[in-house]
Structure 1
Amino acid sequence: MRAAILTTQPGTLDIVDIEIDLPGPGEVLVRTAACGLCHSDIHILDGAIPHQRPAVLGHEASGTVVAVGPGVTRVAPGDHVVACLSVFCGRCPQCARGRTWLCSDKAATMRDADGPPRLSRNGQPVNASSWIGGLAEQMLLHQNAVVAIDPAMPLDVAAVIGCAVTTGVGAAWRSADIRAGETVAVLGCGGIGLNIVQGARLRGAGRVIAIDLQPAKRELARALGATDTIDAASYDAVAEVLALTAGFGVDHAFEAIGLEATIGQAVAMTSPGGTAYVVGVTPMTATVNVPGYALWGQGKTVRGVHMGSNTFTTDMPRYVDLYLQGRLRIDELISRRIPLTEVNDAYDALRRGEVARSVVTF
């Protein structure tokens, strides 16, 4: 099958033929329909996040189940599914506490090292990035990495639920548990930030302030539910947020970019007693400096958010229902649909901030 693989860091993706095995115990073979391109992939391409190689990138994917291995109970051949990198073992201390998105034994969902690899090329194992490897014509996954969805949902749109929607809406709903009337700021209006915006809207936030450098993204944020927008290229975002909130700041500030500077801004624009959420993926070497007084003197909280604190096996079908009801808007997030051969150009466009989401369709 054709796949986009990374062989060097920093590097670009090579479109090559690789081999995929048949599903073993607990495994699911999926014919890939679509895979969204996420900004965190760029950190891998640029070498900011070390990664095992060679690897098939892509973790925001959807498709149709082709075959299942022994012991699979979650899905069946013919099911439409969305994959999620929050694959879970179901047995570790984190899973036992209900924090499946923080599963500490994902290795239990992988094959033994002395067995045949799921993916290979010329007899050598190929890694599936984030336990998914969505930039390939097929995916071989553990059953705890997929969830069946309503077949009425278009699969090219469903792919975006796999990361952008689950992380963004989940950050607003599960991590922050926004209440009606509360104030929200979102720094960065890419795929995840835009979903935080509409997650806040769906929760009834009183004010949703979207902050971005790009006019088109600010316009899209307003269309998805932002009550105010700030041009971060021309204005001091912190000062503008404070002005919009009578000097008080916001109850919830979400950083959805992954930069040290904007994380600091999120803390600064948070009201006393409020919370700043670090949702954006930073390079592995990045550090966050928080003024001590903001913590002990103002009672602010800084919270990390991983994949929207999701329970994807129940969250994703709900997001599908909301989309089919016209309440969750995803079509607007997809800037372009492309073939696999254009993946490197699409990542470059994402680097330049030109798109919210590009989706590779198969």
Structure 2
Amino acid sequence: MSQTVRGVISRKKGEPVELVDIIIPDPGPGEVVVDVHTCGVCHTDLTYRDGGINDEYPFLLGHEAAGRVESIGPGVTNVAVGDFVVLNWRAVCGQCRACKRGRPQYCFDTFNATQKMTLTDGTELTPALGIGAFADKTLVHQGQCTKVDERADPAVAGLLGCGVMAGLGAAVNTGNVGRDDTVAVIGCGGVGDAAIAGAALVGARRIIAVDRDPRKLAWARELGATHTVNAAELDAVETIQDLTDGFGADVVIDAVGRPETWKQAFYARDLAGTVVLVGVPTPEMTLQMPLVDFFSRGGALKSSWYGDCLPERDFPTLIELYLQGRLPLDKFVTERIGITDIEDAFHKMHNGEVLRSVVVLK
């Protein structure tokens, strides 16, 4: 039997979000109903609200979530009722060309629930990133549930569902940062600081954090940065080169996603170094540079999508490292809020006042 629960929706472009009743259907084949415990407030949710993803309103927002499996549909084998899970938006299909080549982290046809959650009048909802977890419960595909150690704080664990995994994976998976590397991270919000934490985790020798906000640079220090550069006062490229004996960093991660920051990343790297773009540009942004600079510097220019993660591989491992005290995921939780506080959390995020606000539902 379907259930009526609370959910936070965006009904029209740019308008404040609303807390309304929504209908959750019984899970069908391959589907799971998850009792949501926590959900982080991610910039992607704000982008949905403001029409930056598509215009398929109304949206059921929220996607950085952890909770317990309440019920399962026919054929579900990944999880069982009662499992503590982190939700993800990369439920690999196993059949696309990436999966068949042994690269499921690049899956081109990830699964979502087949049935739709709706408003009480029957209007179909578009769940953010196929999840929609600013709600007491949500309906997802079984592949979107990754079982992790239930000792983890749900407010912490859920952040792996998007921003923290994106940044950490940009360093570890995409950038292939290793022991003794020098790393620079441009932009020290949640994603950038996660990249810093990832670089520290794998033993990078020098981690340089770049931002224009002293508060964000202080957060970066707490998460593993060995040096900080205030780009409002210093030239970022020159300072990174000065800190690396004039050579530049082995890996530079652009967690902002603007032409000017990408150029800084490009010129701040060592010869044959790597640039990783994990900040998300907007469609109108363009880049103009001398082609000879690409040829003469060598190296690799990469984009990182969801940190090139494979949830079933990465989530349990990262949670275990957190429980061992080796990965300070708890430092990303700036505040815990209620389900009615999301619009205010958007303002705090936009103003750079938080790394993550986390909605606590249970």
Short-chain TM bin = over 0.9
Q: Secondary structure at the match of 2:357?
A: strand
Q: Which runs of 5+ in 2 are unaligned?
A: none
Equivalent residues in 2 for 1:282-293 (5 A)?
Answer: 282-293=281-292
Measured in 1, the distance between the counterparts of 2:244 and 2:328 equals 27
Measured in 2, the distance between the counterparts of 1:43 and 1:294 equals 34
Q: Secondary structure at the match of 2:297?
A: coil
CA drift at 1:121: 3.6
CA deviation vs aligned residue, 1:109-150 (integer Å, no higher than 9, x gap):
442xxxx52334411211111011111111100011111111
Measured in 2, the distance between the counterparts of 1:295 and 1:72 equals 48
Q: In the alignment, which residue of structure 2 is the partner of 1:162?
A: 161
Aligned CA distance change for structure 1 residues 25 and 120 (closer, same or farther; 3 Å): farther
Measured in 2, the distance between the counterparts of 1:41 and 1:95 equals 28
Measured in 1, the distance between the counterparts of 2:167 and 2:252 equals 13
Query: Is the deviation greater in 282-291 or in 64-73?
Result: 282-291
Q: In the alignment, which residue of structure 2 is the partner of 1:128?
A: 127
Measured in 2, the distance between the counterparts of 1:20 and 1:105 equals 24
Measured in 2, the distance between the counterparts of 1:248 and 1:143 equals 47
TM-score normalized with structure 1 length: 0.95
Q: In the alignment, which residue of structure 2 is the partner of 1:12?
A: 16
Q: In the alignment, which residue of structure 1 is the partner of 2:223?
A: 224
CA deviation vs aligned residue, 1:223-253 (integer Å, no higher than 9, x gap):
2111100112222111211111122111100
Q: In the alignment, which residue of structure 2 is the partner of 1:323?
A: 322
TM-score normalized with structure 2 length: 0.95
Q: In the alignment, which residue of structure 1 is the partner of 2:350?
A: 351
CA deviation vs aligned residue, 1:65-104 (integer Å, no higher than 9, x gap):
1000011111111110000111222211122223334322
Does the CA-based 8 Å contact 2:182-2:207 persist in structure 1? yes
CA drift at 1:160: 1.0
Q: Which of 53, 59, 68 matches 1:55?
A: 59
Give runs of ≥4 in structure 1 deviating > 6 Å. Answer: none
Does the CA-based 8 Å contact 2:191-2:255 persist in structure 1? yes
Does the CA-based 8 Å contact 1:294-1:300 persist in structure 2? no
Query: Are 1:89 and 2:93 counterparts?
Result: yes
CA drift at 1:198: 1.2
Does the CA-based 8 Å contact 1:32-1:136 persist in structure 2? yes
Measured in 1, the distance between the counterparts of 2:346 and 2:93 equals 32
CA deviation vs aligned residue, 1:31-69 (integer Å, no higher than 9, x gap):
111111112323323333324211111121111110000
Measured in 1, the distance between the counterparts of 2:178 and 2:77 equals 36
CA deviation vs aligned residue, 1:296-317 (integer Å, no higher than 9, x gap):
1111422110001001111000
Measured in 2, the distance between the counterparts of 1:224 and 1:327 equals 11
What letter is aligned with 2:182? T
Query: Is the deviation greater in 288-297 or in 8-17?
Result: 288-297
Q: Secondary structure at the match of 1:284?
A: coil
Equivalent residues in 2 for 1:4-43 (5 A)?
Answer: 4-43=8-47
Q: Which runs of 5+ in 1 are unaligned?
A: none
Q: Secondary structure at the match of 2:75?
A: coil
Query: Are 1:67 and 2:71 counterparts?
Result: yes
Query: Are 1:76 and 2:80 counterparts?
Result: yes
Measured in 2, the distance between the counterparts of 1:102 and 1:336 equals 33
What letter is aligned with 1:245? T
Q: In the alignment, which residue of structure 2 is the partner of 1:272?
A: 271
Q: In the alignment, which residue of structure 2 is the partner of 1:119?
A: 118
What letter is aligned with 1:53? Y
Q: Secondary structure at the match of 2:334?
A: strand
Q: Secondary structure at the match of 1:225?
A: coil
What letter is aligned with 2:91? V
Q: Which of 36, 46, 50 matches 1:46?
A: 50
Q: Secondary structure at the match of 2:151?
A: coil
Q: Secondary structure at the match of 2:285?
A: coil
Does the CA-based 8 Å contact 2:49-2:59 persist in structure 1? no
Name the Cα RMSD after superposition.
1.5
CA drift at 1:257: 1.6
Query: Are 1:191 and 2:190 counterparts?
Result: yes
Q: In the alignment, which residue of structure 1 is the partner of 2:7?
A: 3
Q: Secondary structure at the match of 1:141?
A: strand
CA drift at 1:270: 1.3
Q: Secondary structure at the match of 1:124?
A: coil
The total of aligned residue pairs comes to 357
